[in-house]
Amino acid sequence: MKDLLKFVTCGSVDDGKSTLLGHMLYDAKLLYTDQRQALELDSRIGNKDGRIDYSLLLDGLMAEREQGITIDVAYRYFHTQNRSFIAADAPGHEEYTRNMAVGASFAQLALILVDASRGILVQTKRHIRICILMGIRHYVFAVNKMDLLSYNRESYLKIQKELEKIIDEISSEAFQKQNASAAVLPYESVYILPVSAAEGDNITKKSGNMTWFEGCPLLEYLETVDVTYKNSGSGFMMPVQRVVKPQSRCAWKTSSLEDTNFRGFQGQIENGLLHTGEEITALPSREKAKVEEIFVTDRKVETAVAGQAVTLRLDKEIDISRGSVLVTGKGPDVSSMCTAVLLWMDEVPLLAGKNYYIKVGTKMLPATVMSIKYSIDVNTGMHLPAQQLQKNEIACCDLVFSEKTVFTSFEQNKALGGFLLIDRISNQTAACGVIRHSLRRSDNLTWQETTIGRKERSEQKGQSPKTLWFTGLSGAGKTALANEIEKRLWKMGKHTMLLDGDNVRMGLNKNLGFKEQDRIENIRRVSEVAKLFNDAGLIVLASFISPFERDRENAREIIGRDDFIEIYVSTSLKECERRDVKGLYRKARAGEIPNFTGIGSPYEVPENPDIVINTEGKSLSENADDLMRQLEKWLL
């Protein structure tokens, strides 16, 4: 079986990535006859001079051909006598940086092109840092379009010197300590060569136009470079991807796997090897058991090694589910906080305090970006202060998970050190990143169970603690309605606490303003306080504009989905502005209050509120009667 090399081509727009790959495949006769004929025909249609446009092999989308740029990642599978290859042709335009990161995430080697006529650009440097972020250890820099410079040796040497300077800066030990993106993995190999993708110089054979270059051509180097990767962690480690439950249907043919009492744990071994009879530890529960049987597909084996997908059967039942990690020895970190470096991919800026889903290994759980420590200048590598992160920017952040989970640094293990952040509303990938280390303070914190808990406090008060979350525009009548409901609950003997937006900002949240990041933190703190009051057995009435769906969803997650009742007071902007109880709309219209909800800042109407109350045309008593009837199933 031939060795496999997975590589990504990257660089700035029009550096010649698609042309280089296409010319390599064409000259090396690695195309099928119909592909070759289609390429030659398409080239004749597009070029009157009859020259072959090699980029057409990779730029398959109509939009790519029309614009003359790569948009999506194009994968090409081919093989020579010496090696098999999977090549990912990544887009160079800044708008499609996220696509480039996807291509880099699978690669062992990065082939980075530099246009000799333009030199090293900002996007070139961004792609270098993203490749480092993705853990690529092997690099080839192809200085392209040498034909436009008449194959001038001095021009090439100047660019080579600049590249070597960048490499030295990023890989030097001193720079690694300062630069989070460079501290992920060291370089193992770097190769720089001059090429002409259009003319074929130094692609599959040595160029007669650049006899001054003593190195080998590109394809020869790709066939011989050693890209063997070994995780630096020691011992067996396997994230559990699937639990085979008793009596579940499966296509196994062995008698053991046909057993209706069979319970197994499936996943890919990420590190080390495992023998039948060895003791394993399940993280995060730290329960132990011995391996009774190991299956690779339907074959029972005595030993399994890294890279194999296996099914394990243990000698006893212990707490294991999807996302658990099976290890021998101590194993990786189990923590709820970490410092990480991420590439932001979303159109919406990243702000500290926002809540996402994070996928680490086979585990997916809620996570919050606690703080943005600094952003990283892609041009210089310098650390810059940042309040938010824009699309395609790289930053170092602190993350907190909703529970303790298993992870490693990316340097130790890619599978458990890399992660995705997923938007909880759109389910789109918002960022990809790598974990640098756990935060020690999380290891020193343990939730203390108390004798008197939520259940006991609730029973003492004879009620079910809930949070009634009133949301709507300023002047909608949220606080008046919440106050009336609290009076009625109090007369019924219920134990309550009302949290009002203005009151909280005069105390607990006095240090917060009204910028988006402050509003996010305001709602987060209030949610934590409401949860504490619920734990005390109280019914909480929270009256907050809370204009963003994302923040209300975060509040629901913190407080608990079963305990959070969203009440949308749906009074129209026109009516709220007519009332203008506090005179705020008048000031906002006059420009005295920037970012005022409904005027300078949007209000996102709840998509699926638990209760909707429109206060227009009804008295407070009538609205309260309506709301109390709807609350009966939760509170009474």
220-232 confidence digits (pLDDT tens)? 999 999 987 665 5
Give the per-residue SS3 of 512-530.
CCCCHHHHHHHHHHHHHHH
158-172 average pLDDT score: 83
Give pLDDT, residue 329.
Answer: 81
Whether the pLDDT of residue 432 is over 60: the answer is yes
How many Cβ atoms sit within 10 Å of the Cβ of residue 268? 14
- Residues 105 and 212 grouped into a single domain: yes
- Does residue 231 belong to any structural domain of this protein? no
Q: Is residue 446 part of a domain?
A: no
pLDDT at 247: 54
Q: Which residues are catalytic?
A: 546
In the chain, how many domains are there?
4
pLDDT the model gives residue 612: 95
> What pLDDT, on a 0 to 100 scale, did the predictor assign at position 22?
81
Cis peptide before 284 (omega within 30 of 0): yes
Question: Regarding predicted confidence, which is higher, 416 or 181?
Answer: 416
Judged against a pLDDT cut of 50, whether residue 253 lies above it is answered with no
Structure tokens at 74: 């194009």
Give the model's pLDDT for residue 91. Answer: 75
Whole-number pLDDT of residue 526: 94
Residues 41 and 131 in one domain: yes
* pLDDT given for residue 10 in this prediction: 86
**What pLDDT does 450 receive?**
78
Clarify whether residues 390 and 434 are in a common domain: yes
Mean per-residue pLDDT over the chain, rounded: 84
Predicted confidence (pLDDT) per residue in 275-313, tens digit: 999 999 999 988 999 999 999 988 899 999 988 999 999
Asked whether residue 275 is assigned to any structural domain, the reply reads yes
User: Over pLDDT 70: what percentage of the chain?
Assistant: 84
The partner residues of 355 in beta bridges, in order of sequence, read 368
- In a 13 Å sphere around the CA of 176, the CA atoms on its Cβ side amount to 13
Residue 74, pLDDT > 80, answer: no
Band the pLDDT of 239: cuts 50, 70, 90.
Answer: very high
Does residue 504 register a pLDDT over 80? yes
Q: What pLDDT, in 10s, does the model give residues 14-69?
A: 788 888 888 888 777 776 666 666 666 655 555 555 577 666 665 543 333 344 44
142 and 59 in a common domain: yes
Residue 450 lies in a domain: no
Mean pLDDT of 429-458: 80
Per-residue confidence (pLDDT) for residue 502, from 0 to 100: 85
Domain limit, last residue, from 182, 198, 224: 224
Give me the pLDDT at residue 92, please: 66
Q: What is the structure's pLDDT at 151? A: 94
Is residue 415 scored above 60 in pLDDT? Answer: yes
The confidence score (pLDDT) of residue 33 equals 67
Most confident of 83-92, 392-401, 590-599: 392-401
> What's the pLDDT score for residue 60?
47
What number is the average pLDDT over the span 442-471?
A: 84
Same domain, 259 and 338: no
Give CA–CA dist 480/571, Å, rounded. Answer: 13
What mean pLDDT do residues 495-519 have?
87
- Domain identity same for 30 and 105: yes
pLDDT of residue 85 exceeding 70: yes
Task: Give the integer Cα–Cα distance in Å for 72 and 58.
Answer: 10
Q: What is the CATH number of the domain that holds 499?
A: 3.40.50.300
Residue 403 has pLDDT above 80, yes or no: yes
Burial track 348-364 (b if 16+ CB lie within 10 A, e otherwise): bebbbbbbbbbbbbbbb
- The mean pLDDT of 183-201, rounded to a whole number, is 80
**241, 368: one domain:** no
Other residues' Cβ atoms within 10 Å of the Cβ of residue 323: 19
The candidate with the shortest Cα–Cα distance to 182, out of 163, 194, 169, 191, is 169
Residue 449 lies in a domain: no
Question: How remote is the C-alpha of 167 from its chain's centroid?
Answer: 27
CA distance 438 to 436: 7
Q: Is the pLDDT of residue 636 over 70?
A: no
| One domain, residues 488 and 369 | no
Domain boundary, last residue among 409, 440, 471? 440
CA distances from 200 to 145, 147, 195, 368, 583 (A): 10, 10, 7, 50, 72
The last residue of one of the domains, among 384, 410, 440, is 440
Q: Are residues 340 and 320 part of one domain? A: no
Per-residue pLDDT, averaged over 370-378, amounts to 87
- 99-144 pLDDT, tens digit per residue, is 777 778 778 899 999 999 998 888 888 888 888 878 888 999 999 9
CA-based nearest residue to 320, from 361, 359, 281, 358: 281
pTM comes to 0.70
Say yes or no: 317 and 346 in one domain.
Answer: no
- Please say whether the beta carbons of 537 and 495 come within 8 A: yes
Say if 487 falls within a structural domain. yes
Q: What's the farthest any 2 CA atoms get from each other in the chain?
A: 95
Q: In the structure encoding, which two tokens stand for residue 214, read together? A: 């003593």
Residue 66 confidence (pLDDT): 40
Same domain, 27 and 166: yes
Asked if the structure places residue 232 within a domain, the reply is no
The reported pLDDT for the residue numbered 473 is: 92
State mean pLDDT over 400-424.
88
Q: DSSP 3-state assignment of 473? A: coil
**How many residues in total does the chain contain?**
636
Q: Are residues 250 and 104 in the same domain?
A: no
Average pLDDT estimate for 446-472: 88
* Residue 452 counted as domain residue: no
Residue numbers of the domain that contains 176: 4-224
DSSP-derived secondary structure for 123-172: HHHHHHHHHHHTT--EEEEEEE-GGGGTT-HHHHHHHHHHHHHHHHHHHS
Give the domain CATH number at 339.
Answer: 2.40.30.10
For residue 442, what pLDDT band results from cuts at 50, 70 and 90?
A: low
pLDDT of residue 282: 92
Least confident of 70-74, 366-370, 559-563, 564-568: 70-74
